[in-house]
Structure 1
Amino acid sequence: MVDTRSADQRRRIMQSVKQKDTGPEIAVRKKLHSLGYRFRLHGRTLPGRPDLVFPSRKKVIFVHGCFWHGHECSKGALPKSRLEYWKPKIEANKTRDERNVNELKKAGWESLVLWQCEVARLDEAIDSIERFLGPPGRQGSAD
Protein backbone atom coordinates (compact mmCIF):
# COMPACT_ATOMS: atom_id res chain seq x y z
CA MET A 1 0.00 0.00 0.00
CA VAL A 2 1.26 3.46 -0.90
CA ASP A 3 1.60 6.16 1.73
CA THR A 4 -1.23 8.70 1.47
CA ARG A 5 1.02 11.59 2.56
CA SER A 6 3.79 13.33 0.67
CA ALA A 7 7.34 12.88 1.94
CA ASP A 8 7.29 16.43 3.35
CA GLN A 9 3.96 15.89 5.14
CA ARG A 10 5.17 12.58 6.58
CA ARG A 11 8.41 14.17 7.80
CA ARG A 12 6.52 16.97 9.58
CA ILE A 13 4.16 14.47 11.20
CA MET A 14 7.03 12.30 12.42
CA GLN A 15 8.98 15.31 13.73
CA SER A 16 5.99 16.33 15.84
CA VAL A 17 5.94 13.02 17.72
CA LYS A 18 7.22 13.57 21.25
CA GLN A 19 9.64 11.28 23.03
CA LYS A 20 8.97 12.66 26.49
CA ASP A 21 6.27 14.72 28.19
CA THR A 22 3.57 12.96 26.18
CA GLY A 23 -0.11 13.28 27.05
CA PRO A 24 -0.31 9.87 28.80
CA GLU A 25 2.89 10.54 30.71
CA ILE A 26 1.71 13.93 31.94
CA ALA A 27 -1.67 12.50 33.00
CA VAL A 28 0.08 9.85 35.11
CA ARG A 29 2.52 12.38 36.59
CA LYS A 30 -0.23 14.80 37.59
CA LYS A 31 -2.32 12.09 39.23
CA LEU A 32 0.61 10.55 41.12
CA HIS A 33 1.78 13.95 42.33
CA SER A 34 -1.72 14.79 43.57
CA LEU A 35 -1.70 11.52 45.53
CA GLY A 36 1.53 12.51 47.28
CA TYR A 37 4.12 10.58 45.26
CA ARG A 38 7.37 12.36 44.47
CA PHE A 39 9.64 11.30 41.65
CA ARG A 40 12.36 12.31 39.25
CA LEU A 41 11.78 12.59 35.50
CA HIS A 42 13.59 10.83 32.65
CA GLY A 43 16.42 9.21 34.61
CA ARG A 44 19.36 10.08 32.38
CA THR A 45 21.74 7.72 34.14
CA LEU A 46 19.42 4.70 34.00
CA PRO A 47 18.98 2.29 31.09
CA GLY A 48 16.11 3.38 28.86
CA ARG A 49 15.76 6.77 30.59
CA PRO A 50 12.61 5.79 32.53
CA ASP A 51 9.78 8.33 32.49
CA LEU A 52 9.31 8.32 36.27
CA VAL A 53 12.05 7.42 38.73
CA PHE A 54 11.50 6.76 42.44
CA PRO A 55 15.11 6.67 43.71
CA SER A 56 14.55 5.69 47.34
CA ARG A 57 12.24 2.86 46.29
CA LYS A 58 14.58 1.78 43.44
CA LYS A 59 11.54 1.64 41.17
CA VAL A 60 10.86 3.13 37.75
CA ILE A 61 7.86 3.51 35.49
CA PHE A 62 7.91 3.58 31.72
CA VAL A 63 4.85 5.08 30.00
CA HIS A 64 4.99 3.49 26.56
CA GLY A 65 3.12 4.53 23.45
CA CYS A 66 1.33 1.44 22.13
CA PHE A 67 2.37 1.98 18.50
CA TRP A 68 6.04 2.81 19.08
CA HIS A 69 6.64 0.00 21.55
CA GLY A 70 4.61 -2.70 19.80
CA HIS A 71 1.80 -3.30 22.27
CA GLU A 72 -0.70 -5.93 21.21
CA CYS A 73 -3.76 -3.70 21.21
CA SER A 74 -5.61 -1.75 18.53
CA LYS A 75 -3.32 1.28 19.00
CA GLY A 76 -0.25 -0.94 18.55
CA ALA A 77 -1.19 -2.28 15.13
CA LEU A 78 1.44 -1.88 12.44
CA PRO A 79 0.59 0.40 9.53
CA LYS A 80 -0.37 -1.15 6.21
CA SER A 81 2.17 0.88 4.23
CA ARG A 82 5.94 0.42 4.39
CA LEU A 83 5.74 -2.73 6.47
CA GLU A 84 9.34 -3.53 5.44
CA TYR A 85 10.37 -0.42 7.40
CA TRP A 86 7.97 -0.48 10.34
CA LYS A 87 8.12 -4.14 11.35
CA PRO A 88 11.90 -4.24 12.01
CA LYS A 89 11.77 -0.80 13.64
CA ILE A 90 9.07 -1.76 16.14
CA GLU A 91 10.72 -5.16 16.80
CA ALA A 92 14.01 -3.36 17.53
CA ASN A 93 12.17 -1.04 19.94
CA LYS A 94 10.67 -4.06 21.74
CA THR A 95 14.10 -5.73 21.98
CA ARG A 96 15.65 -2.52 23.32
CA ASP A 97 12.83 -2.12 25.89
CA GLU A 98 13.34 -5.68 27.12
CA ARG A 99 17.11 -5.14 27.35
CA ASN A 100 16.60 -1.93 29.36
CA VAL A 101 14.27 -3.63 31.84
CA ASN A 102 16.75 -6.50 32.25
CA GLU A 103 19.65 -4.08 32.83
CA LEU A 104 17.61 -2.21 35.43
CA LYS A 105 16.76 -5.48 37.16
CA LYS A 106 20.44 -6.48 37.27
CA ALA A 107 21.18 -3.10 38.87
CA GLY A 108 18.55 -3.72 41.57
CA TRP A 109 15.71 -1.64 40.12
CA GLU A 110 12.11 -2.77 39.67
CA SER A 111 10.25 -1.62 36.55
CA LEU A 112 6.62 -1.14 35.63
CA VAL A 113 5.55 -0.62 32.04
CA LEU A 114 2.35 1.34 31.67
CA TRP A 115 0.79 1.38 28.20
CA GLN A 116 -0.90 4.32 26.50
CA CYS A 117 -4.14 2.33 26.20
CA GLU A 118 -4.08 1.63 29.95
CA VAL A 119 -3.75 5.33 30.75
CA ALA A 120 -7.09 5.84 28.97
CA ARG A 121 -8.53 4.10 32.06
CA LEU A 122 -6.48 6.24 34.43
CA ASP A 123 -8.09 5.10 37.70
CA GLU A 124 -7.30 1.44 36.92
CA ALA A 125 -3.78 2.38 35.87
CA ILE A 126 -3.23 4.30 39.10
CA ASP A 127 -4.43 1.29 41.12
CA SER A 128 -1.74 -0.89 39.50
CA ILE A 129 0.88 1.83 40.06
CA GLU A 130 -0.06 2.12 43.74
CA ARG A 131 0.27 -1.66 44.13
CA PHE A 132 3.70 -1.46 42.47
CA LEU A 133 4.97 1.52 44.48
CA GLY A 134 3.30 1.06 47.84
CA PRO A 135 1.92 4.02 49.80
CA PRO A 136 3.01 7.58 49.00
CA GLY A 137 5.50 9.34 51.22
CA ARG A 138 9.17 8.96 51.75
CA GLN A 139 10.49 5.43 51.62
CA GLY A 140 14.08 6.49 52.15
CA SER A 141 16.04 9.64 51.56
CA ALA A 142 15.48 10.88 48.00
CA ASP A 143 11.94 10.37 46.69
Structure 2
Amino acid sequence: MDPFTPEKRSQIMARIKSKNTKAEVRLATTLWRRGHRYRKHCKTIFGTPDLVFKKYKIAIFVDSEFFHGKDWETRKRPVNNAEFWANKINRNIQRDKQVNEYLTSRGWKVLRFWSNDVKTKLYTIIRTIEKEIENAHQKIYYKPELD
Protein backbone atom coordinates (compact mmCIF):
# COMPACT_ATOMS: atom_id res chain seq x y z
CA MET A 1 0.00 0.00 0.00
CA ASP A 2 1.35 3.38 -0.99
CA PRO A 3 1.67 5.68 2.04
CA PHE A 4 1.05 8.74 -0.16
CA THR A 5 -2.08 10.02 -1.86
CA PRO A 6 -2.10 9.75 -5.65
CA GLU A 7 -1.59 13.53 -5.90
CA LYS A 8 1.42 13.47 -3.55
CA ARG A 9 2.91 10.46 -5.36
CA SER A 10 2.50 12.33 -8.64
CA GLN A 11 4.36 15.33 -7.22
CA ILE A 12 7.19 13.12 -5.98
CA MET A 13 7.55 11.31 -9.30
CA ALA A 14 7.42 14.56 -11.28
CA ARG A 15 10.50 15.80 -9.41
CA ILE A 16 12.67 12.90 -10.58
CA LYS A 17 15.06 14.28 -13.17
CA SER A 18 15.94 12.66 -16.45
CA LYS A 19 18.59 15.23 -17.36
CA ASN A 20 21.30 16.87 -15.30
CA THR A 21 21.08 14.45 -12.41
CA LYS A 22 23.58 14.87 -9.58
CA ALA A 23 25.73 12.00 -10.82
CA GLU A 24 25.68 13.28 -14.40
CA VAL A 25 26.60 16.83 -13.37
CA ARG A 26 29.39 15.53 -11.13
CA LEU A 27 30.87 13.46 -13.96
CA ALA A 28 30.53 16.29 -16.49
CA THR A 29 32.04 18.88 -14.16
CA THR A 30 35.02 16.68 -13.36
CA LEU A 31 35.68 15.99 -17.05
CA TRP A 32 35.39 19.70 -17.85
CA ARG A 33 37.84 20.64 -15.10
CA ARG A 34 40.28 18.11 -16.49
CA GLY A 35 40.16 19.88 -19.85
CA HIS A 36 37.81 17.61 -21.79
CA ARG A 37 35.19 19.25 -23.98
CA TYR A 38 31.95 17.52 -24.85
CA ARG A 39 28.32 18.09 -25.74
CA LYS A 40 25.49 17.40 -23.31
CA HIS A 41 22.25 15.70 -24.33
CA CYS A 42 23.11 15.80 -28.03
CA LYS A 43 19.82 15.19 -29.81
CA THR A 44 21.53 14.54 -33.16
CA ILE A 45 22.98 11.29 -31.76
CA PHE A 46 20.57 8.35 -31.51
CA GLY A 47 19.56 7.73 -27.90
CA THR A 48 20.47 11.28 -26.79
CA PRO A 49 23.57 10.43 -24.74
CA ASP A 50 24.22 12.40 -21.56
CA LEU A 51 27.72 13.35 -22.76
CA VAL A 52 29.14 13.10 -26.29
CA PHE A 53 32.63 13.43 -27.69
CA LYS A 54 31.63 13.69 -31.36
CA LYS A 55 35.20 13.98 -32.62
CA TYR A 56 36.07 10.65 -31.03
CA LYS A 57 32.64 9.02 -31.47
CA ILE A 58 32.23 8.36 -27.75
CA ALA A 59 28.75 8.40 -26.20
CA ILE A 60 28.39 8.36 -22.41
CA PHE A 61 25.23 7.49 -20.50
CA VAL A 62 24.76 7.83 -16.73
CA ASP A 63 21.92 5.48 -15.84
CA SER A 64 19.95 5.31 -12.61
CA GLU A 65 19.85 1.88 -11.06
CA PHE A 66 16.09 1.72 -10.68
CA PHE A 67 14.88 3.13 -14.00
CA HIS A 68 17.46 1.26 -16.11
CA GLY A 69 17.06 -2.05 -14.28
CA LYS A 70 20.36 -2.76 -12.55
CA ASP A 71 20.12 -6.32 -11.16
CA TRP A 72 16.50 -6.32 -12.33
CA GLU A 73 16.19 -10.09 -12.18
CA THR A 74 17.25 -10.29 -8.53
CA ARG A 75 16.30 -6.94 -7.01
CA LYS A 76 13.26 -6.26 -4.89
CA ARG A 77 10.53 -4.93 -7.15
CA PRO A 78 7.83 -2.35 -6.49
CA VAL A 79 4.67 -3.79 -5.00
CA ASN A 80 2.35 -0.97 -6.02
CA ASN A 81 1.49 -0.89 -9.69
CA ALA A 82 3.90 -3.81 -10.21
CA GLU A 83 2.87 -4.59 -13.78
CA PHE A 84 3.38 -0.97 -14.90
CA TRP A 85 6.88 -0.85 -13.37
CA ALA A 86 7.90 -4.23 -14.75
CA ASN A 87 6.84 -3.18 -18.27
CA LYS A 88 8.51 0.22 -17.95
CA ILE A 89 11.83 -1.11 -16.70
CA ASN A 90 11.88 -3.93 -19.26
CA ARG A 91 11.20 -1.40 -22.05
CA ASN A 92 14.06 0.77 -20.76
CA ILE A 93 16.44 -2.21 -20.69
CA GLN A 94 15.46 -3.13 -24.26
CA ARG A 95 15.83 0.47 -25.44
CA ASP A 96 19.29 0.70 -23.87
CA LYS A 97 20.34 -2.46 -25.74
CA GLN A 98 18.98 -1.08 -29.02
CA VAL A 99 20.81 2.22 -28.54
CA ASN A 100 24.06 0.38 -27.77
CA GLU A 101 23.73 -1.84 -30.84
CA TYR A 102 22.82 1.04 -33.14
CA LEU A 103 25.69 3.26 -32.03
CA THR A 104 28.34 0.53 -31.98
CA SER A 105 27.29 -0.62 -35.46
CA ARG A 106 28.09 2.90 -36.65
CA GLY A 107 31.53 3.02 -35.07
CA TRP A 108 30.67 4.67 -31.75
CA LYS A 109 32.10 3.64 -28.41
CA VAL A 110 29.24 3.49 -25.89
CA LEU A 111 30.08 3.88 -22.20
CA ARG A 112 27.35 3.33 -19.62
CA PHE A 113 27.84 4.01 -15.94
CA TRP A 114 25.49 3.51 -13.00
CA SER A 115 24.79 6.69 -11.05
CA ASN A 116 25.91 5.12 -7.75
CA ASP A 117 29.23 4.15 -9.36
CA VAL A 118 29.73 7.77 -10.39
CA LYS A 119 29.24 8.70 -6.74
CA THR A 120 31.60 6.08 -5.34
CA LYS A 121 34.12 5.37 -8.14
CA LEU A 122 34.34 8.73 -9.92
CA TYR A 123 38.05 8.71 -10.70
CA THR A 124 38.00 5.13 -11.94
CA ILE A 125 35.24 6.16 -14.33
CA ILE A 126 37.14 9.31 -15.34
CA ARG A 127 40.20 7.21 -16.11
CA THR A 128 38.11 4.78 -18.18
CA ILE A 129 36.75 7.68 -20.23
CA GLU A 130 40.21 9.22 -20.63
CA LYS A 131 41.62 5.90 -21.87
CA GLU A 132 38.86 5.71 -24.49
CA ILE A 133 39.60 9.28 -25.56
CA GLU A 134 43.32 8.43 -25.84
CA ASN A 135 42.54 5.31 -27.91
CA ALA A 136 40.23 7.24 -30.23
CA HIS A 137 42.78 10.05 -30.55
CA GLN A 138 45.46 7.52 -31.54
CA LYS A 139 43.21 6.04 -34.23
CA ILE A 140 42.43 9.44 -35.72
CA TYR A 141 45.83 11.14 -35.64
CA TYR A 142 48.38 8.33 -35.69
CA LYS A 143 47.28 6.10 -38.50
CA PRO A 144 49.99 3.63 -39.54
CA GLU A 145 51.72 4.49 -42.77
CA LEU A 146 51.21 2.14 -45.67
CA ASP A 147 54.32 0.85 -47.46
Fold-level match, TM-score > 0.5?
Answer: yes
Distance in 1 between the 2:76 and 2:111 partners?
Answer: 22
Aligned ranges 1:89-108 → 2 under 5 Å: 89-108=88-107
**Paired residues of 1:40 and 1:54 also in contact (CA < 8 A):** yes
Matched-pair identity in %? 33
Residue by residue over 1:35-88, the C-alpha shift from the partner in whole angstroms, topping out at 9 and shown as x without a partner, is 111001111011110000001101110011111100128xx7532322111111
CA distance in 2, matches of 1:23, 1:6: 27
For 1:58, the equivalent position in structure 2 comes to 57
Letter paired with 2:100: V
SS of the aligned residue for 2:61 comes to: strand
Aligned residues: 135
- SS of residue paired to 2:46: coil
The letter for the 2-side match of 1:128 is T
Secondary structure of 2:86 counterpart: helix
Whole-angstrom distance in 1 between the partners of 2:134 and 2:78: 38
Q: Which residue of 2 aligns with 1:123?
A: 123
**Which amino acid in structure 2 is aligned with residue 80 of structure 1?**
V
Residues 92 and 130 (structure 1), Cα distance of their counterparts in 2 relative to 1, 3 Å cut: same
TM-score of the pair, normalised by structure 1? 0.86
Q: Which secondary structure does the structure 1 equivalent of 2:92 belong to?
A: helix
**Higher relative contact order (CA closer than 8 Å, sequence separation 6+):** 1
In structure 1, what residue type is equivalent to 2:51?
A: L
SS at match of 1:63: strand
- Tell me what 2:29 maps to: 30
Q: Distance in 2 between matches of 1:58 and 1:25?
A: 19
After the TM superposition, list the runs of 4 or more consecutive aligned residues in structure 1 that deviate by more than 4 angstroms: none
SS in 2 for 1:53: strand
What's the TM-score once normalised by structure 2's chain length? 0.84
1:3 aligns with 2:2: yes
CA deviations over 1:81-140 (Å, ceiling 9, x no partner):
2211111110100000110111111222110001111111212222222223228x9x97
Paired residue for 2:132? 132
Q: Which runs of 5+ in 1 are unaligned?
A: none
Q: Paired residue for 1:45?
A: 44
RMSD between superposed Cα atoms in Å: 2.0
* Larger-Rg structure: 2
3-state SS of the aligned residue for 1:119?
helix
